[in-house]
Amino acid sequence: MNRLTKLLILVVSMIGIVQSVWFIGLVIPIDYLSKMVLQTVQTNVDWIMILALVGSVIVGFVAIMAIITILVAPRKADKIVFRSANGRLSISKKAVEKSLEEAIMQQAAVSDVQTTVKLHTKNRIAKVRITAVDKQGRDLVELGEKIQTIVAAKMTDLMNVKVKKVRVKVNPFDTVQNKKRANHPRVV
């Protein structure tokens, strides 16, 4: 979760908590809070007050859960940064995806390779999703396992990052919708 998303969720959660406190101040008599809030009440109907209490509990619970979520959610990144005494090196996610695609096309002999990498910067873990097309009619399970080992080795070589999960989807050439794209090698 990036910083802007966390900030927006935090702002909405704070507004929800303030709204929840206001609703509770309407229903339950609290000395200093109820005196301020009762000036805003425009009705004395009991079912509206009960509905306000139930609504405040729900809104407050959702707001507290949202705050807990943003505190616990891992930060994802578009690049990973290595720092040492010699300097700083940052590698972008796009560069890693591109080099994984090239390695898979060369070593596994598949075409139309698409990779998606999710990086977690705190504990240096990556999740990789790969789709590819096999034109040679090989065993897809065996080919998928080969691609998994290629990805794990390449990620370790490139970035010294553990791969938590590799999802590989290899389609046979016969089942591909866009045969023109899958038939031509990708020019880089």
- Interval 3-36: pLDDT, tens: 788 888 888 888 888 888 877 776 677 777 777 7
Using alpha carbons, select from 41, 71, 149 the residue that is nearest to residue 104. Answer: 149
Residue for token digits 């425009």?
Answer: 42
Considering the chain, what is the average pLDDT of its residues?
79
Rounded Cα distance between 154 and 145, Å, is 14
Domain assignments of the chain as residue spans, ordered by start: 3-72, 77-183
- Interval 108-151: pLDDT, tens: 888 888 888 887 766 778 889 998 888 777 788 888 888 889 88
Q: Give the phi and the psi of residue 111 in degrees, each rounded to 5.
A: -125, 170
29 three-state secondary structure: coil
Report if pTM > 0.95. no
Four-way CATH pick for 77-183: 3.40.190.290, 3.30.70.1350, 3.40.50.970, 3.30.200.20 = 3.30.70.1350
- Check residue 86 and give its pLDDT: 87
